[in-house]
Chain A
Amino acid sequence: MKRHRGLTLVSMPVPLPGWSTLWRRGDRGLLLAVGGLAAFGLVMVFSASESQGWLWHRNAAYYFERQLVWLVLGAGLLWGCAQLDYHRLRPLVRPLALGSLALLLLVFVPHLGVTSNGARRWLKFGPLEMQPAELAKVAVLLYMASWLERRRDRLHSVEEGVLPFLALLALITGLVMLERDLGTTLILAAIMLSQFLVAGSRKRHVLLLVAIVALAIAALIRMEPYRFHRIMAFLNPWADPLNSGFQSIQSILALGSGGIFGVGLGQSIQKYQWLPFAHTDFIFAIVGEETGLLGTTAVLVLFAVFTYRGYRIALRAPDLFGSLLACGITTWITAQAVINIAAVTVTLPTTGIPLPFISYGGSSLAISLLAVGILMNIAVQGEKVGWIRHARVDLGRRYGWAPVPRDRDRAGAVAEGP
């Protein structure tokens, strides 16, 4: 029973070679999906931002160049995190969570916090600007994975499991809500709830929490006039086509113009200042205009591949911590893509979050790729039959979900590797 803790694996000298091994040992489908999205995103950022770049910076490739730098940086982070045994992240969990909390609070410090488009969500250190919410997603999913793993035997208890979880949920989402960032709040709630679900809580508790979150959102929308207007504009954008409905209308005009085959790469007209945020939050509309239904479907399929491979990694993770991490990362990217595309297709109201891997925005891209790196490391350590399947044999135990990794087999498997 001494070996039951997954940590024993960590100390084992697992050979962690370069890309080629990542390719062989890691999750190829995931890597292909992310690579495809990021490469396509880079092309689209160039196309969608050339007008903006020229108008504001006299350089059509202004945004492209920056995105390229961030993409290279992100690829490095992905590689690095894939090398780093994810169990080693455990000591980082608490400082990262506290640091992230501090950054979120710093946004409210005058001169440091920057308000943009009615939302106070940026931090400015000299020339550097960042959105603490991006980092917060990683911090939260790491912290929650660790927290839930520690409490996995008490999660059924209301006092020791559900209420503390609710408190954490309220604290984190409340802070982000103060920055008027409904999109990120939703994503954080989705991450935490999905982890809470997979960690083994009672289903009725999860459903209750989902209901609480939904009610809270409804209340928030009703309270804030600008959010209420967004909802109204969403319900009927043509009622006020020049103001509140403008973005929605321009977005569907872009999609509609594309038709099935698109007007051709670089041929978008809507990107010429017609569609606000064409290279960031609404880049998917330009994808639709230039590459048509074929292009948008391809992007959706790549995201679906990511989601599938991500949850598959969660299933095959060697322990609960890895499972929760994989689950959180997958839920994050999936929820963010869904919410973004839903806004672009006027399926849900606009919340102002970027499309993962595709939208312009360096810190967001880099941190997403970092998360993919963590996912890759979990995949490398994963097995055909992960801890979840092994849970069967442990059913009679007190801690029904204790992971029972087959250390020797795994080690052997790795040793027999390249």
Chain B
Amino acid sequence: MRTVEDVEPRARVLSLLALALMAYLVLLGRLGYWQAIRHRDLAAVARAQHDDRLILPAVRGRLLDRYGAPLVTNTPVFSIFASPDLIPTADRAEVADRLGGVLGMAPADLLAKLATTRKFVYLKRRVPASVAHQVEALAQPGIGKIAESQRSYLEGAVPGTSLAANLLGFVNDSGQGAYGIEGYYDQQLAGTNGYEATFRDITGRPIVLSDRTRVEPINGASLQLTIDGAIQVAAERALADGIKKVEAESGSILIMEPTTGRIVAWADIPTYDANLFSAVADQNPRLFVDSNVSDLYEPGSVMKVVTLSGALDRHAITPTTTFNETGSVVIGGYRIKNWDNKAHGVVTMTQVLEKSLNVGAIKAEQLEGGPAFFESLSQFGVGQRTSIDLAGEVNATLGAYANWRPVELATASFGQGVDVTPIQMLGAINVIASGGDLVWPHVVDQVIDARGVAHPVAPRVIRHVLAPTTVNQMRQMMVGVVEHGSGYAARIDGFRGKIAGKTGTANIPENGTYPSGEVIGSFVGFVPVDHPQFTMLVIVRKPKILFEGAYVAAPIWKAVASALITQWNIAPQ
């Protein structure tokens, strides 16, 4: 016989048990949610709140010239920071007031920086040690300093600039290398910061019982550059003087060792003071751009060296090949004239180069044939990245041959309508100086790691371009340019007949046409002709007083070449 009372007492206790077990299950579910599903993100939040990580900064590597002289040094500075969460809101105005005086900042600006929910904010970067000590003396909780180091670059030859600023680049406020070598080699130079990790309790005290993990910093590698400091100074000075003389807008000097591709000097004016990079960034960041790798230009007649070398190498012409030069030629409906608008009669190819005759260059291009000419442009590295170890190299590819009209090939033969970077052009002409090889230009000679072990950078030949006979023929033709032709301003006493060169005067294109008046004058040459020790390209942009490369660039080339000859004890042989 079952009644309600029969089963109830037992059922009631069991229902209590069931209720309790249900509650336990719910709690188990909650625990699973927090501990298994949310484990990752909650652990990260917890770590963020109690991990205390003291960064042990790696010392940035040094930059040395080819003789080991430092081009940049590290100066200790301090950055002042705040932990706004440790400064009560009510006290912030007063803190900003006191700090403003020491840091030389408007209290309102400081107050704005403090008004944040972040736990860390920089108040002022890179102040000298004296200011940092004053801040420390305030003994304000929540305000601290971080020791950092700042790059100090050498003074340049031009007042208000630093030496080789465009080549070296700089290190920005976040400690990252920007532009040039500092940009390209940032990772190696920076090294790896170490840290000391510990935990802190809620008041910021380190937890004494906890393990400390200390990871030592790995200092950055130092770079021994291929740059010759003295020549760099001479080049910058000569370029500045030359530019001033002809009231040009800007200019470049690039010098490399012919067979190894080592860059000896690298000037680019206008330039800037890398020590004041933040002011430059505010006023004229365009100054950071290294024209030698980051700007394209039409090289003009310097390109004739490439055109004629290609034709010689394919035996389409010889240095003594003659033809009747009529002063102009019509191609594809366009009449192309010489720079002097004159007809020169029967001339040899040597004379074409010496007198820099556009019609002659077109003749050589036509004798060689369009496809072969186009091929030799590529062989000389025109339209190809040099892969120089500097940040910001640009390139304009030649594209497909099919896209080139005959008139474009014709103008390309004397360096118009084809865009190159200065380093590309230097590399192309250097093929003659190196004895027929296109070499890889580079600025770092060896990487010296944190332990002091040097890792040399091996020179590389990109490709073999010209046969030795062609090289010799072209070298003599280029000597002719200096001895008998447009390059006379580059002659150096004691080196007569030993200097090979070529002038260039290019019109500057603007929206597809060439508005008259604005030109780029350039001179490229190497010395001594039989065993070249260096190849140098000088570019002067938009001169106002004289125009031709012969007048504006060759004298600068001569000045720097003289310095190199003296400095390096180069004999004429």
Which A positions have Cβ atoms within 8 angstroms of B?
Answer: 50-51, 194, 197-198, 200, 252-260, 269-270, 272-274, 288, 292-293, 296-297, 300, 303-304, 307-308, 311, 314-315, 323, 327, 330-331, 334, 338, 341-342, 345-347, 388-389, 391-392, 395, 400-401
Contacts and interface: CB of A to CB of B under 8 A. Distances in A.
Nearest to A50: B209
26 contacts: A51-B207, A197-B12, A198-B16, A252-B42, A254-B46, A255-B34, A255-B42, A256-B35, A269-B46, A270-B46, A274-B49, A274-B201, A296-B35, A297-B28, A300-B24, A311-B16, A327-B13, A338-B23, A338-B24, A338-B27, A342-B23, A347-B27, A391-B6, A395-B1, A395-B3, A395-B6
Contacts of A296: 31, 35
B199 interface: yes
Contact of A338 (B9, B10, B20): B20
Nearest to B208: A54
Question: 8 tightest CB-CB pairs across the interface, nearest first?
Answer: A256-B42, A272-B201, A345-B30, A259-B39, A293-B35, A255-B34, A253-B46, A273-B202
A331 B16 contact: yes
A314 B13 contact: yes
Given A307-B17, A391-B5, 7 more contacts: A51-B201, A256-B43, A288-B35, A300-B24, A300-B31, A308-B17, A388-B10
Interface in B31-51: 31-32, 34-36, 38-39, 41-43, 45-47, 49-50
A272 B13 contact: no
Nearest to A272: B201
Interface in B297-353: none
Given A273-B203, A307-B17, A300 B28 contact: yes
Contacts of A288: 31, 34-35
A389 B14 CA distance: 13
A330 to B, nearest CB: 8
A205 to B, nearest CB: 13
Output the residue of B12, B43, B49 with the most chain A CB within 10 A: B12
Contacts of A307: 17, 20-21, 24
A371 B353 CA distance: 113
B86 interface: no
Contacts of A334: 20, 23
Contacts of B1: 395
B210 interface: yes
Given A260-B35, A269-B210, A311 B27 contact: no
B537 to A, nearest CB: 63
Interface residues of B, number: 43
B8 interface: yes
B49 to A, nearest CB: 7
Nearest to A314: B13
Contacts, number: 142
A344 to B, nearest CB: 9
Contacts of A345: 27, 30-31, 34
Given A260-B39, A272-B207, A401 B46 contact: no
Nearest to A304: B24
A345 B34 CA distance: 8
Nearest to B207: A272
B204 to A, nearest CB: 10
A297 B29 CA distance: 10
Interface string B196-224: 00011111000101100000000000000
A270 to B, nearest CB: 7
Contacts of B209: 50
Contacts of A315: 10, 13-14
Interface in B411-427: none
Contact of A300 (B27, B50, B200): B27
A156 to B, nearest CB: 11
Contacts of B202: 272-274
B26 interface: yes
A311 B16 CA distance: 8
A362 B278 CA distance: 65
Contacts of A252: 34, 38, 42
Interface string B392-413: 0000000000000000000000
Contacts of A51: 201, 207
Interface string B451-465: 000000000000000
B14 A311 contact: yes
Contacts of A342: 23, 27, 30
B207 A269 contact: yes
A274 B199 CA distance: 11
Nearest to A270: B46
Contacts of A194: 16
B203 to A, nearest CB: 7
Given A197-B16, A256-B34, A297-B31, A347 B49 contact: no
Contacts of B42: 252-253, 255-257
A401 B45 contact: no
Contacts of A259: 35-36, 39, 43
Contacts of B5: 200, 391, 395, 400-401
A293 B42 CA distance: 14
Nearest to B202: A273
Contact of A200 (B8, B14, B24): B8
Most A C-beta atoms less than 10 A away, residue of B28, B41, B200: B28
Contacts of A272: 50, 199-202, 207
A269 B31 CA distance: 19
A173 B14 CA distance: 26
Given A288-B31, A347-B30, A388-B9, A253 B21 contact: no
Contacts of B35: 255-256, 258-260, 288, 292-293, 296
Nearest to B200: A272
A303 B21 CA distance: 10
